[in-house]
Structures are given as C-alpha cells and as structure tokens.
Amino acid sequence: MACHLASRLTQAARTLDNGITNESERSPLALESVDSRVSKMKIIAIEEHVLPDQVKHAWSTIPGADDGTLGLNPGVLGKRLADMGRQRLALMDETGVDVQVLSLTTPGLNNLGRHGVDLARRVNDLLADTVAANPSRFQALAVLPSVDADAAAQELRRAVRELGCKGAILYGRVGEKNLDHAIFEQTFAYAAELGVPLLIHPQIPQVSVREAYYAGFAAPIDLALSTFGLGWHFEAGIQFVRIVLAGVFDRYPGLQVILGHWGELVIFYLERLGMLDRVSGLQHPFLDYVRNNLYLTASGMFSPAYLRQAIDAVGTDRILFSTDYPYQYRSGGEARRFVEGLELDDADKPKFAHRNWERLTGS
C-alpha cells in the first residue's frame, strides 16, 4: 500500500511538472528567445529551495516530524532539492537565473521540537558554506528553530551577522501556535532590529482543518489539495492576516515580510480585508500594512495578470521575482523569457528582476 501511494504521489508530481512546462501555457507577453536578446538583465530568484540529507533524515526518523509533505519530493525533485552545486548551477543557467536565494523547503524545522535547535545551526552553516563557494550565484535565507523563542531569535542574529544570510524563512504555525503567538515575538523584534525580511512560506494545514476541508478523496488528491492545490496558500495568507490583526506591525513598523505565490490569495481580497478596520483597533488601516510592510513574489507563477494585480496592491517597489525551484522549474530559458518579455517600463522591469531585492536586503 505504501509503495502504491508513493507511486501515485510521484505520478501526481510529474503531472504537475508536465502541466507547468506545457508550451501552450506560456505567457503571450514572454515570447522572445533568450538568445535573441542583446542585453542580459540580472535576475535574482528569491524563493529557491533545498532539502539537505540531514533534514530529510530527521523528517523520516523523528516521530511526527513529517507532516505528509515529504511525499511531495520524489524522484528528480528530491535530487534537485539535495543538490547545492553543479547541477543546480547548470539548471539556473539553463532557465536564465543569475542568483538563487536558497532556503529550506517546507515544513522547515517546525515539527522537530528541540531537535531543530542544533539542526538549524547545521543547516545555516551549510547554506553559508554553499554561498561562500559561489558568492556570485547564491544567497540564503536562514531557517529558525521556531519552537524555541530564544533559540530562534539568537539563530536569526547569528545567521545574519555572522553567516551573511539575507533574512529568514518562517513556515507559519508551530503545532497549533500561529504566527501571532508569543513564541514568534522575539523573531519579529530581531528581524526589525536587524533590518532583514521574513518570508512566510506555506505549511500544510493542521490535521483538523485537513479532515474538515481537504479530505474524502483518494490519498494523493487529499494531499495535493491540502498543499499545492489550495491549502498551502490559504494557510500562509491567513498567517499574514493574523500578524497584522495582532498588531505586530504596530509594534515593529519597520518589519518587512514576503508572501509568495503573488500574495497567497491575500491581495485578491483586499477590499474585504479592509473592512476589518471597523473592528480591528489597529493604528492604521489594513491596506497600509499591505503597502508598507509586505513584499510579493512570483514563486514560479509566471502570470502577467497576477503581476499586474500585485502592482496594483503594493506598487512596483515591492514586487520580487522567484521560480520556486525545483517545484516550478521550467526548461528552455523560461524564467528569463518571462521577465524580459513583460510589459513593464525600463525602470520597473529591473526592480522586479533584482533591484527591489537588493534594496530590501542591502545587497
């Protein structure tokens, strides 16, 4: 049964990959050949994932560590996640990405308890070594042992100040504790103090939510629906809304966070979210936090329509490029073709490609 399920998950992953690489689905605004371009704009992809063997081993052996998403990394995906050298660089060249900002894939270390404290240091050291080996091609976002508030804050400080990480990645809940829980307060405070961004990455919803909304089909469908189909994106978007409503940005007005997948559904409901002002008691309207504290990145969703929606929500100074490697990897120079073919003016296109990230992180 387990082998049968793994086989079906692998097939589902391949189906997803085939769907997103279909030539007929490419953007009409991104048709020119990369080779036909005389200039070469720098492209930084800021949400590009890794899965070191030591983390995969911990997920596989520590009870409760794997929340089900380990099954989403079969075959070639697993190999690409593990590789942090030559193959990754070759595929970056092939798709037209100059720099990857590396981060641990979901669910990070959130389900490892105290085991995550030491592992966070080892993973961040590995990321720093990878960057040091290819500093013109790689940067990194630190992973934090969020279950331990003090350890997470201290590791953020160490990773930024000593290892050169550009910020950190969060995975939402630790157990039933959402991002507005007190265990995250020091992390927000340190990120604001250090002037580095936090990327809120999707995590699978808790079991009770999955059973209520995402179950009842075959196991591969249940998993897909509760993760990349829809569940991940509601989960991450709600975490952002919760930290707004909890007054995190009132306490740390300089704190900057990033949402992938063009805002994890949030930007498509800003009119309704703005109505929370009637009851929130916040210092500013909800939309002000979106415009002053939020950056949006593509996460491999190469959609000019979504890009326009993102610009309407946050402006051209708060859009960032990413491919969500290896999950949304496309061959044939697709990343560069998308960026260079966009109908953005000569000032805004480089912002999206690299300048906004460099300004945000002081790169």
Q: Evaluate if residue 5 carries a pLDDT over 50.
A: no
Tens of pLDDT, residues 261-282: 999 999 999 999 999 999 999 9
- Residue in the structure block whose two tokens are 């991104």: 30
- Residue in the structure block whose two tokens are 């969703």: 301
What region does 299 belong to: left with phi over 0, alpha with psi -120 to 50, or beta? left
Distance separating alpha carbons of residues 156 and 167, to the nearest angstrom: 8
pLDDT score recorded for residue 204: 97
Distance separating alpha carbons of residues 361 and 208, to the nearest angstrom: 38
Mean pLDDT of the 329-354 span: 96
The widest CA-to-CA distance across the chain, in whole angstroms, is 55
Q: Which residues make Cβ contacts (< 8 Å) with residue 304, sequence separation at least 6?
A: 27, 29, 30, 342, 343
- What is the distance between the terminal CA atoms of the chain, rounded to a whole angstrom? 49
Q: Evaluate if residue 172 carries a pLDDT over 60.
A: yes
pLDDT score recorded for residue 6: 37
| pTM as predicted | 0.90
pLDDT score recorded for residue 39: 58
Question: Looking at 21-110, which runs of residues are DSSP E strands?
Answer: 44-50, 99-104
Q: For residues 265 and 237, is the Cβ–Cβ distance under 8 A?
A: yes
Q: By mean pLDDT, which of 7-21, 142-156, 189-203, 313-327 is the weakest?
A: 7-21
The share of the chain scoring above pLDDT 90, in percent, equals 87
Q: Evaluate if residue 247 carries a pLDDT over 70.
A: yes
What type of residue is 148?
Answer: D
Q: Evaluate if residue 112 carries a pLDDT over 80.
A: yes
Distance separating alpha carbons of residues 180 and 162, to the nearest angstrom: 28
Strand order in the sheet with 142-143: 142-143, 168-170, 198-200, 257-259, 294-297, 319-320
Tens of pLDDT, residues 37-56: 335 899 999 999 999 999 99
Question: Which residue would you say has higher pLDDT here, 107 or 12?
Answer: 107
Q: For residues 34 and 336, is the Cβ–Cβ distance under 8 A?
A: yes
Tens of pLDDT, residues 305-339: 999 999 999 999 999 999 999 999 988 999 999 99
pLDDT score recorded for residue 363: 85
Q: For residues 37 and 349, is the Cβ–Cβ distance under 8 A?
A: no
Burial class (CB in 10 A: 0-12, 13-18, 19+), 290: buried
Q: What is the CA radius of gyration of the chain?
A: 19
Distance separating alpha carbons of residues 47 and 96, to the nearest angstrom: 15
User: What average pLDDT is seen over the chain?
Assistant: 91
Q: Evaluate if residue 10 carries a pLDDT over 80.
A: no
